[in-house]
Structure 1
Amino acid sequence: MKKIATIIVSLSMVAVMAGCGAKAVDVKDAASSGKSKDTITIAWLPNESGADMKAAREEIGKVIETATGKKVEQKTTTDYTITVEALASGNADLAFVGPQAYVEANAKNKKVQPLVVPSGESGTLDDAVYYSWLNVRKGEEAAYKKDSSFVIDPIAGKKMSFVSNSSTSGFKVPSAGIVTYFSKIDKYKSLTGDDLLQGGKDKFFTEVLYGGTHQGSAVNLLTGKADVAAFCDTCVANYVELSSGTANKPGAVYKVKKGAAEPFNTLEGKEFSVISVTPVLNSPIAMNTGTLSAEDQKKLKDALTSDAVTNNPKVFLPKDSKDSGMFRQKTGKEKFLTVEDAWFNPVRELSK
């Protein structure tokens, strides 16, 4: 954890450069009252709401049903804010959300707490990270190289695509990294994250687009709507494959797979180059402890961290699996682990 916190807080762009004030939502506390209910609702961010993810969502649903004996209602969404609000308000009992979305939901309602997070390859929290990328179209990456290293200086004045301003790896982390890097340059010494939200003639970016999903941000890049795009490795892993270079390192080139599902189905063979890579804390399955009974909370923690789920090939996909999954393919000892709310403090620091 200490290693990850240091990485996140420093926000050093690998190989590129050496809060929410809403009122807390008052939700009746099911855990303390001991009350339970017959249905458990789980909400999904837009990234995991597509048709290609249906089997993966349903498998998590089956785990929940088996563990609790309750019916599971799946709630797909088209906007990050909808998922955050559903979890904070108690309209959803569970949600698989990014770290920033979790922090926002927790700020709205302290009864929102992490249930589990996927570990890293080691089976521990030491490497429980995924990666935020800044990307350009293949063939345009030379402009972002200085000597033998990639630099992000040329992104100023470009058309930029983010995911959502509630996305950790699709906005919060890359924008913080951009501010950290450019604020050391006199011309941009007063640059803030808010300056990156919109484009314009006198803005840092000439135009700013939001893909709504990581997939959508990648499509903005590949279709020429944006010059640079932020999205993460895990959210596009089902649609692209490494074409050259080293995975999750600047200079890596990825190509849209043959037969890729929507929204990449018309972009087969299109390539992009990664110019910046920053590690991000893994995303939690979060719970609303005000609507989920203490008994169900324990059952779910026990089930999700069990060997049965760890070894479930529909949850943690085997290496080289052709199926669509939410979590990185199993290359080591990946599993779900429990964490406390404080584990996400490095993400909270990004908003200060």
Structure 2
Amino acid sequence: MKKALTKSGLLVFLSALIIFAAGCSSKTEGSASEKKGNDTITIAWLPNESGQDLEEARTEIGKEIEAATGKKVKHKTTTDYIVAIEAIANGNADMAFLGAQGYIEAHNKNNKVLPVVVPSGESGTLTDAVYYSWLAVNKGDANEYKNGDKFSIDKIAGKKFSFVSTSSTSGFKVPSAGIVDYFSKKSNYKDLKAEDLQEGGKNKFFSEVLFGGSHQGSAVNLLTGKADVAAFCDTCVANYVKLSSGEANTPGAVYQVKQDAAEPFNTLPGKEFELISVTPVLNSPFVVNTKTLSADDQKKIHDVLISDKVTQNEKIFVPADSKFSGLFKMKSGKEHLVEVDDKFFDPIRKLSK
């Protein structure tokens, strides 16, 4: 896979692999191993989805699963990616909503962790089931990252940079792979590796490296001046910012923090940032631990998540004109949760090769 920070090339490649993976998709199978015997299903959430502003959205998903399974749903919110990943891998959680990289790490720890569904793209299919990884700078600094009239990442070397977490797909895996691919073609960076981007300092690629812990945290690192450049994704900050100028998910687009933005943006209303690089990333899955959930519960969860009942629940799939802080936003009206299997995430695995 070409590890480039170009929107069009990667999207074409991802689309081809997604179409292939969709043809191989099958429903999550139950494990013959011992099943959990209690009447509670625990869902682990990454820090990005653990905020108070998304509590009602999490609760609504829990209600749908409770109605389908007859079991009580408990929500396990986290402040660290690894906590959510470990929870689903070691059986302390039965379900989780993870990024592609987080799922791969959990599956590598325990192959009984398998994906169930992902949100579709605007087409209502897996073909365009992507969101976007951004590299952003504060408004007013963007011209420094241009080569002529086009944006370039050449000038990020030596800057203070903020990632999300090393377990984040769009907040580390994809941007670090793109940075390495781009700079390793230059003679002075020919031996650059993703691990070299995790720590800043003298004779390092970045002068300083920060980890926001969440996409929101990485964006705040940028807006408060702690970082010159930051990686974070569009969907995780969508509830807090609005497009100010330019075309959405395109280099040169400017976003502004909403006046009524919730924490951690509540002290930053009106602050603006500009995109210098945009890369499509595979959508995030709901995953289950097939050892702790019975095959019957897995099927019930699968069936309710892809059902019209969930799709038409406006606290799960939020209408485009709604101000409700939800997980999924309707754009075309065709979006819904789509069945997926492990092969769907092979493009992200290839970034490590």
Q: Same fold (TM over 0.5)?
A: yes
Contact 2:3 2:351 in 1 (8 A): no
Contact 1:17 1:151 in 2 (8 A): no
CA distance in 2, matches of 1:346, 1:286: 18
Partner of 2:244: 243
Tell me the CA shift for residue 342 of structure 1. Answer: 1.1
Aligned length: 334
Aligned counterparts, 1:175-254, within 5 A: 175-254=176-255
Seen in structure 2, the aligned counterparts of structure 1 residues 277 and 308 have a Cα distance that, compared at 3 Å, is: same
Residues 307-335 of structure 1: CA deviation (Å, up to 9, x unaligned): 11111111010002111111233433100
Seen in structure 2, the aligned counterparts of structure 1 residues 35 and 86 have a Cα distance that, compared at 3 Å, is: closer
Contact 1:120 1:128 in 2 (8 A): yes
Q: TM-score, normalised by structure 1?
A: 0.92
Aligned: 1:89 with 2:90: yes
Contact 2:34 2:291 in 1 (8 A): no
Tell me the CA shift for residue 11 of structure 1. Answer: 3.3
What amino acid sits opposite 1:90 in the alignment?
Answer: G
CA distance in 1, matches of 2:203, 2:329: 40
What amino acid sits opposite 1:80 in the alignment?
Answer: Y
What amino acid sits opposite 1:235 in the alignment?
Answer: C
SS in 1 for 2:317: coil
Contact 1:31 1:291 in 2 (8 A): no
Considering only aligned residues, what root-mean-square deviation do their CA atoms show, in Å?
A: 1.6
Partner of 2:148: 147
Runs of 4+ in structure 1 deviating by more than 4 angstroms, as ranges, are 15-18, 29-36
Residues 261-319 of structure 1: CA deviation (Å, up to 9, x unaligned): 00000100000000000000000001000001000000011111011111111101000
Contact 1:15 1:150 in 2 (8 A): no
Partner of 1:275: 276
5+ long unaligned stretches in structure 1:
1-8, 19-28
Tell me the CA shift for residue 134 of structure 1. Answer: 0.2
- Aligned identity (percent) is 67
Residues 80-103 of structure 1: CA deviation (Å, up to 9, x unaligned): 000000000000000000000000
SS in 1 for 2:196: helix
CA distance in 1, matches of 2:154, 2:302: 45
Aligned: 1:120 with 2:151: no
Contact 1:138 1:273 in 2 (8 A): yes
Aligned: 1:10 with 2:5: no
Answer with 139-148 or 261-270: which moved more: 139-148
Aligned counterparts, 1:304-343, within 5 A: 304-343=305-344
Answer with 238-247 or 315-324: which moved more: 315-324
Residues 149-183 of structure 1: CA deviation (Å, up to 9, x unaligned): 10000000000000000000000000000000000
CA distance in 2, matches of 1:346, 1:332: 27
Contact 1:17 1:181 in 2 (8 A): no
Q: TM-score, normalised by structure 2?
A: 0.92
Partner of 1:25: none
Contact 2:35 2:291 in 1 (8 A): no
CA distance in 1, matches of 2:36, 2:143: 60
Aligned: 1:293 with 2:294: yes
What amino acid sits opposite 1:349 in the alignment?
Answer: K
